[in-house]
A and B are shown apart, each in its own frame.
Chain A
Amino acid sequence: GAGVSQTPSNKVTEKGKYVELRCDPISGHTALYWYRQSLGQGPEFLIYFQGTGAADDSGLPNDRFFAVRPEGSVSTLKIQRTERGDSAVYLCASSSSLVDTQYFGPGTRLTVL
């Protein structure tokens, strides 16, 4: 079956611009997670959804970052006024429940010039 998909695969933007990153989880998965991975490091948790609501957004670095999941399926990570330090690979994962394996998408590589 289809795995987690993320679009775009690569995004290059200029400092100060607004970007949206999209995640399509595995069908039927209720839990959805966003992580960010900087070069040479492991992924770091940003936010997770259980259904439509953001259950924990404690990993979001500041209020320029926001994510939504309005219908409990697709999620969008939104970054306002991008900074060069936001450059990273943004990974999305989904799982069928809070105790099951998280399956990751291929990631979106964001480059802020």
Chain B
Amino acid sequence: SQQGEEDPQALSIQEGENATMNCSYKTSINNLQWYRQNSGRGLVHLILIRSNEREKHSGRLRVTLDTSKKSSSLLITASRAADTASYFCATDRGAGNMLTFGGGTRLMVKP
């Protein structure tokens, strides 16, 4: 079963616009991570935010975490056509840090 829910399921924007994706989860976490996936194959790690952090930046990416609401958001600024992909949030569980993924947001950036 999947813990997280991404919202929206699909998002279509023009190049240069900002894209915001949200993730909600159900149980307590140590970390939350965002991954990108192109064409249904390998996942590329984007950013990890720990439960005691509220915001983190990496280039054009900004991630926020609200543990009281059990939610996170990923903001991609000044989007590019190359950002077209599926984006997943993943929370860790158990002593082994196994990841539980949401269903993903499919982002399309039109040139």
Contacts and interface: CB of A to CB of B under 8 A. Distances in A.
A42 B4 contact: yes
Judged by DSSP, the binding face of A is strand
A45 B98 CA distance: 7
B97 A89 contact: no
Interface residues of B, number: 26
Contacts, number: 70
B96 interface: yes
B40 interface: yes
Contacts of B4: 42
Interface residues of A, number: 30
Interface in B10-49: 30-31, 33, 35, 40-45, 48
A39 interface: yes
Given A56-B94, A99-B30, A101-B48, A44 B101 contact: yes
Interface of B: 2, 4, 30-31, 33, 35, 40-45, 48, 88, 90, 94-104
